[in-house]
Structure 1
Amino acid sequence: MLGECWERERRVEGAITMISLTRNLCLLPRLTLRSSIFISSSLFFSTSTARKPSPKLSFIAGYLISSIGFSPEKAIEASKQIRHINSPSKPDAVLKFFKSIGLDEAGIRNAVSRKPILLCTQVEKTLKPKVRVLQQVGFSQPEIAKLISENPFFLHRKNVQLKIEFLADLFSSKADLYRAIIKNTHLLCSNLDNRIMPNVSYLRACGLSSDQIGYLMKCNHRFITRRLDSIKSVVQRAIELGFSPESKMFRFALHSTCRMSRASVDAKIKVMRTFGLSEAEISSAILKAPQLLFLSVENIKSKADFFMKRPDCELSYVISHPKLLCYSFEKRLVPRYHVLELLKLKGLPKRKCGLFYCMMISDKKFVEKFILPYEKELPDLSKIFLSACAGNVSMEDCFS
């Protein structure tokens, strides 16, 4: 009898265990039959292979998660660079300092993700002196916080003060200096003696003033941190296009040529030749409007075709006013030309204006001169112009 009771209790306990396990399985996500069988076997049979435990996080990986808000994946990756940190003392000091100068949690997380080694940097010896230099220049606390968040690399570089003092002479305002520093992460990290100063000296020898060099840096933030042979190549290309270093347009030419390859420039010159233009005419057009080089080959071709469709517009006129090719189709050329054609049908305006003048004036002046005075004759002209600016008029409509 006693044996039967034990056997009955054993069966009851087994049944309860099975019910409990079944309920737990119902809570699991839907699985394939194969994976379900695997889970069942691992639960019901003690002989199945046990799951491998997840790897234990290092101290610094856990710190990155709990104190800075990294995801586990990002924390593991970043911790590879600073795995030697096994105490919170240095990271805590760095975070405390960053918070004291205005960095919020997102700013700190961004800075540390870009340069994890910040967490083992000495505050008094390394971080404070760099921040003090920025304060002495006159950068505000929010500006300094943003700079560190987006470009923390300079905090471990030497001669930061000398670099800023040297660069300040190239810019007309503190705002321009700040913009250049924050846009070009290499500017405060490049070697002053071997990279920045030789480049500036060469450009000055070419006849560029400090203001002109500063302009180039504003337009192309990485220009001054290029290799010297690269800058020489850009200067040589501008000279080949006909620009003189003494010309006021030389800086615009450098801005254009430094942003594209020689092959790209040659392709644009080639498409201009297909319109029957001479080398002298092409050179003259580029000298007047270096921004032509920023246009794509297709853009140059389509705009030239657009103007050549106009009966009273010679290609020679367009080339003598090359900025016409630089204006936007959608925002300027098509809407204004459409209005001018409608006025022409009505015999307006009484005084003839050149096409270039009509296209180069501001939107406000265009409305004042070519729309408002003719509302009586064409009451819908303003609506037509706005509709054209919204893209509801095609190039073909201008000639229909």
Structure 2
Amino acid sequence: MLLLRKRVRSHLLFAAPSPSTSPVLSLHRLLSAAAPAVSPNPSFVVEEYLVGTCGLTRAKALKASTKLSHLKSPAKPDTVIAFLAGLGLSGDDVAAVVARDPLFLCAKVERTLSPVVAGLTGLGLSNAETARLVSLAPGSFRNRSVVSKIEYYLKLFGSIENLLRPLKYGSGFLDSDLQRVVKPKVSILAECGLGACDIAKLFILAPRILSASTKRVLGMVACAKRIGVPRGSGMFKQALHAVSYFSEDKIAAKLDYLKRTPRWSDTEVGIAVSKAPILLARSNDVLQRMSDFLFSEVGLDPAYIVHRPAVLTYSLDGRLRPCYYVVKFLKESGLLNHDRDYYSMVMVSEKVFLEKFICPHKQAAPHLAEDYAAACTGQVPSTFRFT
């Protein structure tokens, strides 16, 4: 058994297959090189195995070992590690998989894992893509039904890359029942006027919606309507994304805060939120700082922002303040002979802003580009300290 573990470990660290090698074939080669399984080993200690063979830290091994107390020998986990090596996972990747899902070491290779790999290969996934899927969702990978789910999600999301993106934040939706949980929500969103592309983008941005209850999704639709974004609206997808983060009580509290901080009326709050639903996700502290800057320093009227609420979605220190400083400097230096609308100034991309307000003044203000870059990092150059 010691020889088996050394061989598996050696293959894992130094002999990962090339991208063109079949993971299933590689697995069989690894297993054929290993010794036959043996009877339970009375000296086998799970925690030591997790540290010595799987590469977990002592703390993570101790935590993981509580789920593997039934293991009496390294035979099955050695086979699983050989499987992971066959997929091309590195030692660090294997440690991450085991730490995330210790029971993966108990999966049946021939009955479950190998058929799943074969099924995913049949769907067009490469070895590397399958390995990434295992790393992000090892628990889901232990169920053969994951193949049919991946097939459905590939069509829904449009590509494996789009599917992998939300998996980075959790794999709960892969465990959801397609017929009872997922497809009804897709139908609801389609009935609300969202096309396939918009539904996919919404799920990528807010995968929590996939695993939410149908009642919760219907509540999101109703909430979007209450804040002034009815189904069929161009902002409906953004509204669902925003309200998916919060309970109705928290949304009501945020709407109340918007009335007090930018000093908007109920009608004005409705207009602003319907134009930029993502305002609901802005923290109160950020909204307060932005209001102080826009109203007190820039001198804008709250009514001006109502019809241009996207201003409140930009970065205060990374865009709003530096752009304002640059234009004010140019005006006070006599380099701009007419006023510029603040919103039209900050809504352009940084590239366009540089072309319009920085590059034309290289000779008259050679330090301007450097000062602007410093302002974007939160510094205030002396030339931008206006009296």
TM-score interval, normalised by the smaller of the two chains: 0.7 to 0.9
Question: Aligned residue pairs: how many?
Answer: 343
Deviation track 1:9-53 (CA, whole Å, cap 9, x = no partner) reads xxxxxxxxxxxxxxxxxxxxxxxxxxxxxxxxxxxxxxxxxxxxx
Question: What aligned pairs does 1:126-141 form with structure 2 within 5 A after superposition?
Answer: 126-141=112-127
Residues 1:305 and 2:295 aligned together:
no
Q: Is the 8 A contact 1:94 1:121 kept in 2?
A: yes
CA RMSD of aligned residues (A): 2.6
Aligned residue in 2 for 1:160: 146
Q: How far apart are 1:176 and its partner, in Å?
A: 0.3
Q: Is the 8 A contact 1:349 1:370 kept in 2?
A: no
Structure with the greater relative contact order (CA < 8 A, sep ≥ 6): 1 or 2? 2
Code of the residue aligned with 2:273 in structure 1: it is I
Percent identity, aligned pairs only, is 32
Aligned residue in 2 for 1:277: 264
Distance 1:133 1:368, change over 3 A: same
Question: What aligned pairs does 1:105-254 form with structure 2 within 5 A after superposition?
Answer: 105-254=91-240
In structure 2, C-alpha distance between the alignment counterparts of 1:278 and 1:301, rounded to whole Å: 17
Deviation track 1:51-74 (CA, whole Å, cap 9, x = no partner) reads xxxxx9645455444432445665
Residues 1:356 and 2:343 aligned together:
yes
Aligned residue in 1 for 2:16: none
Code of the residue aligned with 2:372 in structure 1: it is F
In structure 2, C-alpha distance between the alignment counterparts of 1:220 and 1:97, rounded to whole Å: 33
Deviation track 1:257-305 (CA, whole Å, cap 9, x = no partner) reads 1112333322332233234422222111112212222212232233223
Aligned residue in 2 for 1:33: none
Code of the residue aligned with 2:139 in structure 1: it is F
Q: How far apart are 1:108 and its partner, in Å?
A: 2.2
Q: Is the 8 A contact 1:110 1:149 kept in 2?
A: yes
Distance 1:61 1:339, change over 3 A: closer
Q: Is the 8 A contact 1:78 1:116 kept in 2?
A: yes
In structure 2, the gaps of 5 or more residues are: 1-41
Give the structure with higher Rg (CA). Answer: 1
In structure 1, the gaps of 5 or more residues are: 1-55
Larger deviation: 307-316 or 185-194?
307-316
In structure 2, C-alpha distance between the alignment counterparts of 1:381 and 1:67, rounded to whole Å: 57
Aligned residue in 2 for 1:23: none
Q: Is the 8 A contact 2:331 2:337 kept in 1?
A: no
Code of the residue aligned with 1:241 in structure 2: it is I
If the length of structure 1 is used for normalisation, what is the TM-score? Answer: 0.77
In structure 2, C-alpha distance between the alignment counterparts of 1:71 and 1:307, rounded to whole Å: 50
Q: How far apart are 1:165 and its partner, in Å?
A: 2.0
In structure 1, C-alpha distance between the alignment counterparts of 2:295 and 2:48, rounded to whole Å: 68
Aligned residue in 2 for 1:339: 326
